[in-house]
Structure 1
Amino acid sequence: MTSMTLKNSLAGLVAAICLAGCGALPDKPARAALYDFGPGLAAPAAPPASAAGSAPRALPMIALAEVDANSRLDGTQLLYRLGYADSNELRPYGQSRWSQPPAQLLRQRLREGLSAGHTVLGPEESATIARTEGRLPDSLRVTLEEFSQYFESPERSVGLVRVSATLTRSQPGGDRVLAQRSFTARKPAPTADGPGGVKALAAASDAVVAELVAWVDQAR
């Protein structure tokens, strides 16, 4: 075998090895899809005027605390339960995640809903008013207890959201509980997969927010 033939053979062998090595490389991991609750609620209505030509009535203030959640809901995983198999086990989707923890997404939605009829304050704003004006607004605390796609069968599922809420009023002798209640909403998923669960959970969250806002107005 001539030196030229040997060089060509070695070059071909090296190329074949390189091609085989490239073919053995794993595919690039698929990027998880990120979801939130969508663009938001309708713009709040303008507060009514107390009389024709007068300035709009000031909205009552309410302090909205951070929404609490148990450790299972601290992350951004999209969770589901197989009610027909083992409803006690929470399972995560592999390629579907929330853009923020569900408690934060729910608080954003709740703030939007409350702002139609209230001036909504965060913890720091509420503390500032207490320091400068010597008064505290009523406070709403919400705990997210369940937030999952619940499969009743392999083909049928719902978005399940459950929260507990406590409305308190600060008084010289301490906080007084004005009202306390739990809220649960179930909305059907259009498809039996992660994207369907996202739509169902967003709809169930909006239903819970609507009930919460109406309840706050009645309780005060």
Structure 2
Amino acid sequence: MTTIRNTMSIAAMALALGACASKGQTTANYDFGPLPATATAPSSASKIGAIIVADVSGPAALDTERMHYRLLYADARQQRPYAYNQWASTPAQLLTQRMRARFAQAGMKVLSTTDAAASTTVLRMEVEDFAQNFDTATSSQGVLSLRASVFRNHQLVDQKTFSSSIAAPSADAAGGARALAEASDAVAAEMLNWLAALPPSK
């Protein structure tokens, strides 16, 4: 009986988060919201110099606007889609825009790949995990993990993996979007410290 109740609970959770919605319900679109107030940045952030920030890459799931979640207590390997909630653009695009905006906010000179002639320093970011993970039916976290690599003149200078997990304020898509935005800002702040500590280009 316990197994049956657990199965029914998981099914009800999936319906509530994903497919259970009234006919004709409109789709809600989420992004990372406006930039938060300027955080204290490394004093040398503005001395990092011009850097090309390449588009964020990662799993195929980052190239769609669909919002997904995982029920860790049911099957952590299965991504489930929200039915009437989606990102305003793909997560890869949102992350690219957010990282560039946060770096520029801290005083860095941020360039895109079309400005290749203006800098020999390139930052590449590859996402390993970007998800809203439910520990229970009422508790979830926005999780971001990415690997960042800095190249100068096509030579690897340094590489590091950054991770952040932020508790969602609500057990739904809106809570997941907010938690993932805050996780992205936390990773950006850590990355700024790392970039500022790298040896200057010669």
Which portions of structure 1, spanning 4 or more consecutive aligned residues, are displaced by more than 2 angstroms? 41-45
Matched, 1:151 2:134: yes
Partner of 1:92: 81
Q: Deviations over 1:139-195 (max 9, x none)?
A: 00001221111001111110011111100110xxxx221110111100001111111
* Residue pair 1:60, 1:117 contacting (<8 A) in 2 also: no
Cα distance in 1, alignment partners of residues 166 and 39 from structure 2: 24
Q: Distance in 1 between matches of 2:50 and 2:113?
A: 12
Gaps of 5+ in 1: 1-26, 49-56, 130-135
Match of 2:96 in 1: 107
TM-score when scaled to structure 1? Answer: 0.73
- Counterpart amino acid of residue 150 in structure 1: N
In the other structure, the counterpart of 1:192 is 171
- Whether the 8 Å contact between 2:168 and 2:179 is mirrored in structure 1 is yes
What is the aligned counterpart of 1:119 among 109, 120, 123? 109
TM-score when scaled to structure 2? 0.79
Return the letter of the residue paired with 2:193.
Answer: A
Residues 41 and 109 in structure 1, CA contact (< 8 A), matched pair in contact too: no
Task: Name which structure has the greater RCO, CA cutoff 8 Å, separation 6+.
Answer: 2
For 1:40, the aligned partner's letter is: L
Q: Of 34, 38, 50, which residue of structure 1 is paired with 2:33?
A: 38
Residue by residue over 1:36-71, the C-alpha shift from the partner in whole angstroms, topping out at 9 and shown as x without a partner, is: 1011143699xx9xxxxxxxx887100111111211
Instruction: Measure how far apart 1:212 and its partner are.
Output: 1.3
Equivalent-residue separation in structure 2 for 1:105 and 1:208 (angstroms): 14
Partner-residue secondary structure (3-state), 1:87: coil
- Which has the larger Rg? 1
Cα distance in structure 2, aligned partners of 1:159 and 1:95: 19
Return 5+ residue gaps in structure 2 as ranges. Answer: 1-21
Query: Who is 2:198 aligned against?
Result: 219
Aligned counterpart, 1:71: 60
In 2, Cα distance between equivalents of 1:44 and 1:207: 10
Q: 2:124 aligns with which of 141, 149, 158?
A: 141
Q: Percent identical across equivalent pairs?
A: 38
Q: Give 1:13's aligned residue.
A: none
